[in-house]
């Protein structure tokens, strides 16, 4: 699986050229994987391709009384400088594919390059640009810039409502992104509203069983219900998402793995620890064995969840292995100041508290709180995020100074 590119720099944005040239083939954690079977031929200066003769052309000998025809001209080099809508669509698709594979830096560069092309050629109020706003919101969400992420997807929603109406299909994708942003903000009620709005659009358009955003919206709905402590409905929504994934993409797809792991978080909360552990291990199987993406952010989060579950079963040694792996990988991938790295410190605090090591527990809970408050100060996280209250609660419970 690789990207084939002609050696040309005239049309491909400079910010992306180097990334594409260095994309290797393989699955190691320190390499960016290629996007399947994508051929980008931006060949303004590339050698012209020759066309193969059609079947039977060489046998033409004038038996029909006609002179020998001139050969067909070769196809010209492919250049998309005059088709910015196609160029931006290709770059955005590559960017999203890379983000789906956990390649955050490379994927972000493609998404941003596509957005810049659309802004230049179509302006701020075109639905093409709205698609880029939605993609860029995801980039910001991954970077932990949640307040800015909501603003970005909000711009996409305004445009698409004006162009397609309140039930236009593009709004379903916007609602999925908005719901995901609100989940990370701790706004579970807002996330639930966004997910239900997106699902209603898909039902009205009669594509609820076919649209790829259906299971994503069910996943957002399930996680929002979990945050609201509505475990039965959460289990139902996430079970529907997993069932739909099995129908649409099968059991070896990363979307299925992610939704299966999220269902496991509900099962864990329902004290169904056996099924929860199966769910986490199923997600690990897909990311580690099938995809070979041992540095994927969703896999890192699954390690963290599996570690917290093993604390509850008393398997402290294995729990620590998973939690330490999650912390180490997360600091490399997302950076030591990311909110989810704060969660990794909090998880280790729970481990140390469970084993009676209150000194280390206090250190980890304090590190978690420091990360959260730093993100509030940088205006990346809302001031009343539930993670903050949770860390403060545990600092008090552990009788930390």
Check whether 157 has a pLDDT greater than 90: yes
Question: Which pLDDT value is given to residue 49?
Answer: 46
Question: Which pLDDT value is given to residue 77?
Answer: 65
**Poorest-confidence range of 28-32, 363-367, 381-385?**
28-32
Mean pLDDT of 305-329: 96
Question: Which pLDDT value is given to residue 98?
Answer: 87
Residue 72 pLDDT class (50, 70, 90 cuts): confident
Question: Which pLDDT value is given to residue 18?
Answer: 54
pLDDT tens-digit readout, 276-298: 999 999 999 999 999 888 888 99
Check whether 185 has a pLDDT greater than 70: yes
Task: Tell me phi and psi for residue 73, to 5 degrees.
Answer: -70, 150
The percentage of the chain sitting over the pLDDT mark of 90, rounded to a whole number, equals 71
Check whether 17 has a pLDDT greater than 60: no
Mean pLDDT of 8-27: 45
Domain residue limits, the chain: 1-43+79-123, 146-248
Domain 146-248: give its CATH code.
Answer: 1.25.40.10
pLDDT tens-digit readout, 215-230: 999 999 999 999 999 9
Check whether 174 has a pLDDT greater than 50: yes
User: CA 112, CA 11: separation in Å to the nearest integer?
Assistant: 16
Q: What is the signed CA dihedral for 190, 242, 199, 111, rounded to 10 degrees? A: 70
Strand partners, 3: 38
Structure tokens at 234: 């959460």
User: CA 369, CA 363: separation in Å to the nearest integer?
Assistant: 10
Residue 2 pLDDT class (50, 70, 90 cuts): very low
User: CA 112, CA 119: separation in Å to the nearest integer?
Assistant: 10
What's the predicted TM-score (pTM) here? 0.80
Residue 45 pLDDT class (50, 70, 90 cuts): very low
What mean pLDDT is reported for the chain? 85
The percentage of the chain sitting over the pLDDT mark of 70, rounded to a whole number, equals 83
Higher pLDDT, 167 or 14: 167
Question: Which pLDDT value is given to residue 50?
Answer: 44
Closest by CA position to 162, among listed 196, 195, 118, 127: 127
Question: Which pLDDT value is given to residue 401?
Answer: 80
User: CA 303, CA 283: separation in Å to the nearest integer?
Assistant: 10
Question: Which pLDDT value is given to residue 291?
Answer: 87
**Poorest-confidence range of 46-55, 161-170, 257-266?**
46-55
Mean pLDDT of 29-35: 37
Higher pLDDT, 82 or 285: 285
- Give, to the nearest 10 degrees, the angle between helix 254-269 and helix 297-312: 20
Question: Which pLDDT value is given to residue 102?
Answer: 80
User: CA 183, CA 199: separation in Å to the nearest integer?
Assistant: 17
Question: Which pLDDT value is given to residue 76?
Answer: 67
Q: Is the dihedral of CA 246, 248, 251, 256 positive or negative?
A: negative
Residue 379 pLDDT class (50, 70, 90 cuts): confident
Residue 239 pLDDT class (50, 70, 90 cuts): very high
């Amino acid at each position: 699986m690789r990207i084939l590119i002609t050696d040309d720099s005239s049309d491909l944005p400079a910010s992306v050229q180097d990334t594409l040239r260095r994309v290797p083939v393989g699955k190691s954690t320190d390499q960016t994987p290629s996007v399947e079977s994508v051929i980008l031929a931006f060949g303004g200066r590339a050698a012209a391709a020759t066309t193969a003769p059609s079947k039977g052309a060489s046998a033409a000998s004038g038996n029909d009384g006609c002179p020998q025809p001139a050969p067909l001209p070769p196809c010209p080099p492919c250049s998309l400088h005059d088709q910015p809508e196609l160029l931006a669509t290709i770059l955005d698709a590559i960017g999203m594919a890379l983000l789906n594979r956990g390649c955050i830096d490379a994927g972000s560069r493609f998404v941003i390059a596509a957005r810049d092309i659309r802004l230049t050629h179509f302006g701020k109020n075109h639905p093409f640009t709205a698609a880029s706003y939605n993609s860029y919101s995801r980039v910001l969400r991954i970077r932990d810039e949640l307040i800015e992420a909501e603003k970005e997807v909000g711009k996409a929603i305004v445009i698409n409502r004006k162009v397609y109406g309140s039930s236009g299909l593009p709004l379903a994708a916007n609602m999925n992104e908005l719901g995901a942003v609100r989940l990370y903000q701790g706004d579970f009620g807002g996330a639930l509203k966004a997910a239900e709005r997106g699902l209603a659009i898909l039902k009205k358009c009669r594509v609820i069983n076919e649209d790829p955003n259906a299971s994503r919206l069910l996943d957002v709905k399930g996680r929002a219900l979990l945050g609201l402590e509505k475990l039965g409905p959460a289990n139902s929504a996430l079970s529907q998402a997993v069932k739909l994934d099995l129908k649409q993409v099968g059991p070896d797809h990363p979307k299925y793995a992610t939704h299966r792991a999220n269902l496991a978080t509900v099962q864990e909360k329902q004290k169904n620890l056996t099924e929860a552990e199966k769910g986490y291990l199923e997600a690990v199987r897909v990311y580690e064995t099938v995809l070979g993406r041992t540095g994927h952010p969703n896999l890192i989060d699954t390690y963290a969840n599996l570690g917290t579950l093993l604390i509850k079963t008393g398997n402290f040694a294995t729990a620590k292995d998973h939690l330490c792996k999650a912390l180490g990988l997360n600091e490399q991938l997302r950076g030591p100041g990311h909110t989810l790295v704060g969660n990794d410190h909090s998880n280790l605090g729970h481990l140390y508290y469970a084993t009676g090591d209150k000194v280390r527990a206090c250190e980890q809970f304090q590190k978690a709180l420091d990360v959260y408050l730093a993100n509030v100060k940088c205006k990346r996280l809302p001031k009343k995020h539930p993670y903050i209250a949770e860390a403060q609660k545990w600092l008090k419970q552990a009788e930390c100074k």
